Copies of this chain bind each other. A is one copy, B any other.
């Protein structure tokens, strides 16, 4: 990296010290049609885990095979924390198996309700400071589909207390979400092997 990459463009006139500013919670969005939105979020979570932060991952879209690799690694890291004290504790919750706190796996599928309840759970956790680093994976889809109230999400994020970092992923992030975020990256596909008729493969896609 070129020198000075960590230097801010200018010192803001916000009345905060550098230290206070450094402790501000990050609200990040990874959006766009390209690869790497979730992968980069999990990479950030890995770094946060290493700093001893309490990690909470919430997958908002059913994905039976997808991300099983990340899940296994994070469960491993969580166990490592529990047994050796290294890193931070990890919780991983996903739709499709029933949100684990709701204990209703096997009930009639209702994705909209699941997503809504998932968000209410995340909201409660933000109020209780349950985690230090939240990944809301593929969160933009239930927002776009109207399953989760965008106004509630934005006001909850804007008004949360403490230094709880939140990273959200998914295509077509709503403008309102981008407004409330302070770190927004768009992943754009330039080339993809599936364009050449190749299927997803082990170790690359999952």
Chain B nearest CB from A205 CB (Å) reads 7
A106 at the binding interface (Cβ < 8 Å):
no
Which residues of chain B have C-beta atoms less than 8 A from A38's C-beta?
43
Q: Is A192 interfacial (CB-CB < 8 Å)?
A: yes
A125: CB under 8 A from chain B? no
Q: Which of A2-10, A107-115, A116-124, A147-155 contacts B (4 or more CB under 8 A)?
A: A2-10
Interface readout for A171-195 with B: 1 if CB under 8 Å, 0 if not? 0000000100111111111111111
A8 and B197 alpha carbons, distance in the complex (Å)? 5
How many Å from the CB of A137 to the closest CB on chain B? 10
Question: Cβ of A94 < 8 Å from any Cβ of B?
Answer: no
The reply to whether A44 and B51 contact each other, CB–CB distance below 8 Å, is no
Question: Bound state CA distance, A141 and B26, in angstroms?
Answer: 28
Check if A50 is an interface residue, CB within 8 A of chain B. Answer: yes
Chain B: minimal CB distance from A62 (Å): 8
Are A165 and B18 also in contact (CB < 8 A) when A40-B43, A197-B8 are?
A: no
Give complex CA distance A80, B32 in Å. 35
CB neighbours (8 Å) of A205 from chain B are 6
* A69-B46 contact in complex given A1-B138, A26-B204, A201-B23, C-beta closer than 8 Å: yes
Residues of B within 8 A of A193 (CB): 24, 26, 182-183
A49 at the interface (CB under 8 A from B): yes
List CB contacts (< 8 Å) of A1-60 with chain B.
Answer: 1, 6-12, 14, 18, 21-24, 26, 30-32, 34-44, 46-51, 53
Further 17 A-B residue pairs, CB within 8 A, beyond A41-B43, A49-B73, A186-B188: A6-B200, A8-B195, A39-B47, A40-B40, A40-B187, A46-B70, A47-B206, A50-B69, A51-B202, A73-B77, A73-B87, A76-B77, A76-B80, A178-B190, A182-B198, A184-B192, A185-B188
